[in-house]
Structure 1
Amino acid sequence: MPKVKAEKKSRIHNEISKQGIMFNKDFGQHILKNPMVITAMVEKAALRPTDTVLEIGPGTGNMTVKLLEQVKKVVACEIDTRLVAELQKRVQGTHLQSKLQIVVGDVLKSELPFFNACVANVPYQISSPLVFKLLLHRPFFRCAVLMFQREFAQRLVAKPGDKLYCRLSVNTQLLARVDMLMKVGKNNFRPPPKVESSVVRIEPKNPPPPISYTEWDGLTRIAFTRKNKTLGSAFKQSSVLATLDKNYKLHCSLHNKEVPANYCIKTKIEEILTNSQSLEKRARTMDLDDFMVLLHAFNAEGIHFS
């Protein structure tokens, strides 16, 4: 390594060590240090004094303290015990101490408490499972203002036909309204991540659409396996046919129906796709309504995805 580069690296290393904590890359720890970004995120959440706020990955507590000043209670989920100690030390002996509850452990494996809003600089490697854990959580929360890796945020808001439109886009938009709020450069973090970030606001649809999410998820999983191919082609894969065949026979036995003598799963699926005018459609250009029509068409014929 060239001397200048090595010196710079060791300087950064020493600066971080001065804070008393070495950040753990395995946990995706990049502490948001810019107070203006923190203030903007808190403002966008439109918090009320009676709110309980969920924060995931509070780090050294820069955002936590800001939240505690505005709401009744903050539940902070943190996996790293060193940062938990840091956070406790920060509020100890202050009027904020009684408002903070810390949940130690992996948020994806923990039971989420009741909360009105969620504000977080999310550890990027848990972005996708966390979004769905939040959206499937009950009772409903009002909104979440979350920082993600920029490309992930762009996928959340992508529309049919966009380059980044994918299963994540359509599954999220089924359950929530998602808005892009702002871009955040990597120099706003310590240590700086390798990627740019963006903040999004997620508002769950309440009540949710009257369909089974596991069914929907099963359908979009097949459709987006080859998002540029037609649905006719996606549903011809032998593994897909085998699964749907098994599901159909199970459906028939649960409802005391005879499997028709001339039944062939491949023909049945082709008929459903043709009748719903979906045979030539491609997942990348289909919107929520297109998928809803298709799911109802399959379910009406006893074809299920879960």
Structure 2
Amino acid sequence: MSHTARKRFGQHFLVDDGVIAAIVRAIDPRPGEAIVEIGPGLGALTQPLLERCGALTVVELDRDLAARLRKRAGLEVVEADVLTVDFATLAQRLARPLRVVGNLPYNISTPILFHLLGAVDRVADQHFMLQKEVVERMVAGPGGKDFGRLTVMLQWRYEIEPVLDVPPEAFDPPPRVDSAVVRMTPLREVPAVDAARLSEIVTVAFSQRRKLLRHTLGRWLEQHGQGAGFDLQRRAEEVPVAEYVALAAPTKTAA
């Protein structure tokens, strides 16, 4: 049974057997692991993962594809918008840390990455196919044009490693951009941080990238009685992740 890719779901189906095999090798699935695949589509990754690990949970929004996937033994199908799935609860039910994988819909890949941050303590690792430009932003260092809000909000919590570049012709239909596979491993030791405050700080800092921080973040820090010794004569992309994290450390109260 054929299936026409649906533009509203951002569907681009992986069809290159060599790329599929390389991704599965990178993931290295083992029996007994709690592997969750986001957006399995026609099952290009699903089947080889299932053959290696014996059981798999998939999250699929497209009802036609979900119905097709339910016919495969060993699959638990969660028919839902991935942005509504509670991954922490899923990990609790599976009683193991999650290994999350998937060819993410490019039109909502960033919201998915931020959504998964809420369950990072229940995740062993993540392997995702993404637009290559997004991966470059994820791994960027300070000082470059790719360093931004996404960079800071992911690097403070994950070790991020590009795994594989994937050309458009590996998909049907081919996307108009180059793609890449990335590995994200939660850091074992994480500084004590008010995550909501960090998000607010980073959002304010990058709200006007061309301006010096004294015009944006400086005002915010002054209003909140913070930032003593912080160099505001820089632009947002020039500040290392560790300095943003330090600004978001819990405020010490006097005894």
Give TM-score, length-normalised by structure 2: 0.89
Q: Does 1:104 find its partner at 2:79?
A: yes
Opposite residue 56 of structure 2, the aligned amino acid is: V
Matched, 1:168 2:143: no
SS of residue in 2 equivalent to 1:227: coil
Letter in 2 for 1:100: L
The answer as to 2:240 corresponding to 1:295 is no
CA distance in 2, matches of 1:134, 1:74: 18
Matched, 1:283 2:230: no
Q: Secondary structure at the match of 1:67?
A: helix
Return the offset for 1:163.
1.5
Q: Any conservation in 2 of the 1:140–1:206 contact (CA below 8 Å)? A: no
Counterpart Cα distance in 1 of 2:114 and 2:217: 26
Partner of 1:38: 20
The list of structure 1 runs, each at least 4 consecutive aligned residues, that deviate by more than 4 angstroms after superposition, is none
User: Structure 2 CA distance, aligned partners of 1:118 and 1:36?
Assistant: 21
- The answer for the alignment partner of 1:256 in structure 2 is none
Contact kept in structure 1, 2:38 and 2:58, CA below 8 Å: yes
Q: If each structure's helix is expressed as a fraction of its own residues, which one has the higher value? A: 1
Which structure: larger Rg? Answer: 1
Q: Does 1:26 align with 2:1?
A: no
1:67 equivalent to 2:29? Answer no
CA distance in 2, matches of 1:171, 1:197: 21
Instruction: Say whether 1:153 aligns with 2:128.
Output: no
TM-score for the superposition, normalised by structure 1: 0.75
> What is residue 205 of structure 2 aligned with on the other side?
223
How far has the Cα of 1:44 moved from its partner? 0.9
Separation (CA, whole Å) in 2 of partners of 1:44 and 1:24? 28
Which residue does the alignment assign to 2:33? 51
TM superposition shift of 1:140: 2.3
CA contact (8 A) 1:278 1:294 kept: no
In 1, are the aligned partners of 2:193 and 2:248 still within 8 Å (CA)?
no
Contact 2:59 2:77 in 1 (8 A): yes
Match of 1:13? none
Q: Is the 8 A contact 1:51 1:72 kept in 2?
A: no
Find the counterpart in structure 2 of residue 80 from structure 1.
62
Which is further off, 119-128 or 136-145?
A: 136-145
Shift of 1:301: 9.0
User: Is the counterpart of residue 137 in structure 1 residue 90 in structure 2?
Assistant: no
Deviation track 1:82-131 (CA, whole Å, cap 9, x = no partner) reads 11122234x2xxxxx0x210000101012222253112111112211211
Give the superposition deviation at 1:293.
3.2
Structure 2, gaps ≥5 residues long: 92-96
In the alignment, which of 156, 177, 187 is matched to residue 169 of structure 2? 187
2:212 and 2:234 in contact (8 A); partners too: yes
Query: Which SS does the other structure have where 1:108 is aligned?
Result: helix
Q: Give the secondary structure class of the aligned counterpart of 2:70.
A: helix
- After superposition, the C-alpha distances for 1:205-250 in whole angstroms (9 at most, x for unaligned) are 134331121111111111111223222111366xx5xxx8xxxxxx
Pair 127,211 (structure 1): closer, same or farther in 2 beyond 3 Å? same
Q: Which runs of 5+ in 1 are unaligned?
A: 1-18, 92-96, 245-264
Q: CA deviation at 1:50?
A: 1.6
Aligned counterpart in structure 2 of residue 200 of structure 1, from 158, 182, 189: 182
- Percent identity between matched residues is 31
Contact persistence 1:122–1:146 (CA under 8 A):
yes
Q: Per the alignment, in what secondary structure is the counterpart of residue 118 of structure 1?
A: strand
Contact kept in structure 1, 2:61 and 2:79, CA below 8 Å: yes
